Amino acid sequence: MGRKLLRDVVQRVQCIPYSWPGGPTADDVRRYMAGDVRWKHAVLREDLELLGFKVGRLMVVGPLA
């Protein structure tokens, strides 16, 4: 897969406005075209997986900076 395709997917998700609290799923972000950071990340992960990119999941637990 090309860098342009990767960049296009990332930029599309970046353009989705933040909304807090967001819906409880990535589908809610797609439906309302807004969401909080965790569900925007879920959209990005799902979209990249659909395109064949290998992705991993990372969870960070701790106080917010």
Any domain includes 32: yes
For residue 24, the 8-state DSSP code is S
Residue 42 domain boundaries: 3-50
Any domain includes 61: no
SS3 content of the chain, % helix, strand, coil (to 5): 50, 5, 45
Instruction: Please say if the pLDDT value at position 65 is more than 80.
Output: no
Q: Supply the pLDDT for residue 64.
A: 61
Any domain includes 60: no
Confidence of residue 56 (pLDDT cuts 50, 70, 90): confident
Strand-pair partners of 35: 18
Any domain includes 12: yes
Closest to 16 measured CA to CA, from 46, 39, 50, 45: 39
Any domain includes 59: no
Number of domains in the chain: 1
Any domain includes 64: no
Any domain includes 56: no
Predicted TM-score (pTM) of the model is 0.78
Reported as a single tens digit per residue, the pLDDT across 14-54 is 999 998 877 788 999 999 999 988 889 899 999 999 988 88
